[in-house]
Amino acid sequence: MSKYKIGIVGATGYTGSELLRLLIHHPDVTIEFITSESQTGKNVSEIHPHLMDILDMKLESVKNIDNYDVDLVFLALPHGVSMSFVKEHGLSKFITIDLSGDFRLPSKEIYEKWYKKKHSAEIYFKNSVYGMPELYRDTIRNARLIANPGCYPTSTILPLTPLIKYDYIESKGIIVDAKSGVTGAGAKAKPGTHFPDLFGNFSAYSLLNHRHTPEIESVLHDYTNLQTEVLFTPHLLPIDRGILTTTYSTPKKPMSVELVEELYYSVFEKEHFVRVFDSSPSLKNVRGSNYCDVHVTYDPRTNKIITVSAIDNLMKGAAGQAVQNMNIIFGLIESTGLEQIPLNP
């Protein structure tokens, strides 16, 4: 059987680097091109030294990709840039998996409100499928444009979906407390991610207006058909990678620990990349892997259901989930190329 041909547009950031790590030895694909506008002509191992003697490939300009015949392209581009690529190239030549936020939201109006920039390719919203396999596997199979989920939304939507879908909780007034490693901010240096500011520090940011809020609410609403309201507060951890997310919600009916635990084991028992834990998960147990570890419990004193989830933001929160989506589209076993054991310690 011939291998599927893929390309990566924007291969020099953290997500592009992680895609390369996963796809170099993927048994069913070949990497035909990798692009970078700022590093065109350089060998990728000059930018990512960990790939020395593993991948000897030149970075090209995106202007050259029409010279290649590929089945699928990953867009590891900033928000606002992916939409221009899709507008220029369309969806007929190859399948596109977009790791930016440009096509995750339901409409141009919502995007422009939260991202504070104009959307230039609104006609493609109708073609976009939200790339969370555990929720949209059947529609992902035949999609031409996949909006790969954000890292915070992945760590929030997966644990909350069973509670909302099966009518266990009030769908409004949900509290989401999330903490991320600094790679979630991207590879470019910023004042808030400068080592002297970050090391030994811990802070909340984007209170009340983080752009992942409408993504979480809209996907939960779309999947459960219930209007959902979350108060989402992100925090920056002084670590490189990983997200730990805690949610608090109010039951709609008499509840017990046994009842919620039984729900989660039932819902996720056939999901390869969601592991239900009897105790609170930790980031080191998912580091470098595509797993989402989830714990759920109930506090009778406050009458709250609590979930805790852990993901690697560069894997299940980005590149790993993108490869999982690719596997579904190509009809491959979903875990192909994604069987990395978490790095612990």
For the chain of 345 residues, list the mean pLDDT of each consecutive stretch of 10. 94 96 98 97 96 96 97 97 97 98 97 96 97 98 98 98 98 97 80 80 91 98 97 96 98 97 98 97 97 98 98 98 98 98 93
The per-residue pLDDT for 345 is 87
The CA-atom distances, in angstroms, between 22 and each of 17, 236, 298, 315, 320 are: 9, 26, 37, 9, 8
Is-catalytic flag, 151? yes
Rg (CA), the chain: 20
Residue in this structure with the two tokens 């992916």, named with its chain if needed: 82
The per-residue pLDDT for 26 is 98
Residue of 20, 22, 70, 151 with catalytic role: 151
pTM of the shown model: 0.96
* Domains recognised in the chain with CATH numbers: 4-149+316-329 (3.40.50.720), 152-313 (3.30.360.10)
User: Quick check: 35 and 12 in contact, CB under 8 A?
Assistant: no
Q: How far apart are CA 68 and CA 52, in angstroms?
A: 25
The CA-atom distances, in angstroms, between 286 and each of 50, 93, 136, 251, 301 are: 21, 36, 23, 29, 31
Q: How far apart are CA 225 and CA 203, in angstroms?
A: 34
